A and B are shown apart, each in its own frame.
Chain A
Amino acid sequence: MPPIPGSGLAKGLAVTLRTMTRKSVTAQYPDVQPDLPPRTRGVIGLFEENCTVCMLCARECPDWCIYIDSHKETIPAAAPGGRERSRNVLDRFAIDFSLCMYCGICIEVCPFDALFWSPEFEYAETDIRELTHERDKLREWMWTVPAPPALDPAAEEPKEIAAARKTVEKQAAARAQESTPPGPAGPGTPRSAGPTPAPGAAPAPEARPRPDRDESGPERPTGPGPDRGPGPDRPTGSGSAGPAGPPPGEGDPA
């Protein structure tokens, strides 16, 4: 059956009328803050305590907009007769956000989880030079990094949590054997804030969105289930649960 003449015109009127009765989609931005998804690429935060100055991010950045300066320091031998070690100390870390294209490669490539996306985006400047955020500013952004999305309910336990739990259990076992004195390099010994601190000695646990890396390779810490499923019963998504978070008695691997 051919369409009734004029039905197209009527349909057009119906569409606009229906749109008028619906809620408009305008986002009143300066008055109402946008509701950003957790992985929004707003600005890059530097967790400088984790940075080993390996320079991978600066080298991989397609825009070459990460500037890193550092020098070497020698640490005296931990034990008498031991070897002196050298360590990189960060002098400058800056990202030029006027060049950055927010590809996220630096964050992906950092093997020590020192770079994170933050959803903050209101850092427009009137002078382009101000867009080069220096180390302090990048460190400040870290406070705005949200907790990682919770794992799926049936997801595998993240490697970091598993490692931390094992360490804590081992410590507990060691403490149980009161008779033998602890060795000099035992897990409970405090170390300087090295590149890969033991899970129990991680600094600033309240700002840590992800557990510390524990020499376990470049897998993402969120494990195989990175989707932001609700999973309310998982302890990993609660933000303040840092690497030292899992209590010693937590024996729930699921």
Chain B
Amino acid sequence: MNDALDVAVRLLVVFAVFLTFPLIIGQAEHKVMAHMQGRLGPMYAGGFHGWAQLVADGVKFAQKEDVVPAGADRRVFQLAPAVALLPYLLVLVVIPIGPGEGAVGQVVDAGIFFVLAIMGVSVLGSLMAGWASANKFSLLGGLRTAAQLLAYELPMLLAAASVAMAAGTVSLPGILNAFEWWWLPWQIMGAIVFFVAGLAELQRPPFDMPVADSEIIFGAYTEYTGLRFALFLLAEYAGIVVLCGLTTVLFLGGWHGPMGADGLGWVWTLLKAAVLAFIVIWLRVSYPRMREDQLQRLAWTVLVPLALAQIALTGIVKVVI
């Protein structure tokens, strides 16, 4: 009985986080982006500085007609948003936000593998959408997504592998238990590679080639309307939550903070993740979209070699110690 209750509470909390954090990031993006461009952003919805803008957007999306194109592959088309969104929910379950058993949805021994594998599934949603829409823009977007997935999955994996080597474990809480402050400069290269590759996998600007709305409408999401489109958008923001959480856990020491970890550990995790989320938004505002070939070149000529160098460095330090 107690076990069942425990599991239920944990899942409920994770679900609540899954529903609210993407919205918070979305709202923060509205506001941060606006102020970085000298604007105010939403000001009306909800009264105070437009805090309810995304709720209003949700209501709007829910009211819209759900259209499935005549030539589309119905089943796959309708399933795609769920495939894009749900993996992030699963990833959230295993991200530890504080020390001890209580601060993680479920401890998975092979945490890193689980997380990276599941995040790859999410990209599958875009591929399904692109193929099933029977639209040339969707198809182009889908193909670009596929190319991006291939290019950026590798450096991401290599960077994560470097941390796993350093900690000698692939379990996320295990990595955090082994964390020392000097890992920060030691793994900084891997951290950057991981973060950039993660951004590319989320198709966030400046890596939003697959959804480039000014060239191929909205890529794989061109034919989507209403709630299904909203789910894709939500998947993007849930992806930001997951990416920032993972980077925090793997490279920034998660709950470790300068002033003792006990009790306040989760604050450190959230704080670090929030700063990373801010950087995600900041990058979007500052940089123009990269061209498809630039994107590939960055992955293969910069990120992969950097990740390999990081692994070599990790190995050398590990042997020396």
Q: Could you list which residues of chain A lie within 8 angstroms of chain B, going by C-beta atoms? A: 9, 12-13, 15-17, 19-20, 22, 24-26, 28
Contacts and interface: CB of A to CB of B under 8 A. Distances in A.
Contacts of B43: 28
Given A9-B287, A12-B287, A20-B35, A28 B40 contact: yes
13 contacts: A13-B282, A15-B286, A16-B36, A16-B37, A16-B285, A16-B286, A19-B35, A19-B38, A20-B36, A24-B35, A24-B38, A25-B38, A25-B39
Interface string B279-321: 0001101110000000000000000000000000000000000
B48 to A, nearest CB: 14
Nearest to B285: A16
A20 to B, nearest CB: 5
Contact of A19 (B36, B40, B283, B287): B36
A31 to B, nearest CB: 9
User: What's the dominant secondary structure at chain B's contact region?
Assistant: helix
B34 interface: yes
Contacts of A9: 287
B263 to A, nearest CB: 33
Contacts of B36: 16-17, 19-20
Top 4 A-B pairs ranked by shortest CB distance?
A: A26-B40, A16-B36, A12-B286, A20-B35
A124 B282 CA distance: 40
A153 to B, nearest CB: 37
B1 to A, nearest CB: 51
A107 B40 CA distance: 38
Given A13-B282, A24-B38, A28-B43, 8 more contacts: A12-B287, A13-B286, A16-B282, A19-B36, A19-B37, A20-B32, A20-B36, A24-B39
A12 B283 CA distance: 9
A64 to B, nearest CB: 41
Contacts of A26: 38-40
Contacts of A12: 286-287
Contacts of B35: 19-20, 24
A9 B196 CA distance: 14
Interface residues of B, number: 14
A117 B26 CA distance: 46
Contacts of B38: 19, 22, 24-26
Interface of B: 32, 34-40, 43, 282-283, 285-287
A12 B38 CA distance: 15
User: What's the dominant secondary structure at chain A's contact region?
Assistant: helix
B273 to A, nearest CB: 20
B115 to A, nearest CB: 28
A39 B145 CA distance: 55
A126 B32 CA distance: 37
A223 to B, nearest CB: 40
Contacts of B282: 13, 16-17
Contacts of A19: 35-38
Q: Kindly name the residue among B32, B36, B39, B40 whose own CB sees the greatest number of chain A CB atoms within 10 A.
A: B36
Nearest to B31: A20
A24 B286 contact: no
B278 to A, nearest CB: 10
Q: Kindly name the residue among A13, A16, A24, A25 whose own CB sees the greatest number of chain B CB atoms within 10 A.
A: A16
B65 to A, nearest CB: 29
B189 to A, nearest CB: 14
B184 to A, nearest CB: 20
Q: Kindly name the residue among A9, A12, A22 whose own CB sees the greatest number of chain B CB atoms within 10 A.
A: A12
A28 B34 CA distance: 14
A39 B186 CA distance: 64
Contacts of A28: 40, 43
A26 B38 CA distance: 7
B25 to A, nearest CB: 16
A24 B287 contact: no
A126 to B, nearest CB: 23
A13 B283 CA distance: 7
Contacts of B32: 20
Contacts of B37: 16, 19
Contacts of A22: 38
Contacts of A24: 34-35, 38-40
Contacts of A16: 36-37, 282, 285-286
A20 B40 CA distance: 10
A78 B142 CA distance: 92
A254 B303 CA distance: 76
B124 to A, nearest CB: 32
Q: Kindly name the residue among B32, B34, B39, B286 whose own CB sees the greatest number of chain A CB atoms within 10 A.
A: B286
Contacts of B287: 9, 12
A168 B274 CA distance: 76
A214 to B, nearest CB: 50
Contacts of B283: 13
Contacts of A25: 38-39
A13 B39 CA distance: 17
Contacts of A13: 282-283, 286
Nearest to A25: B38
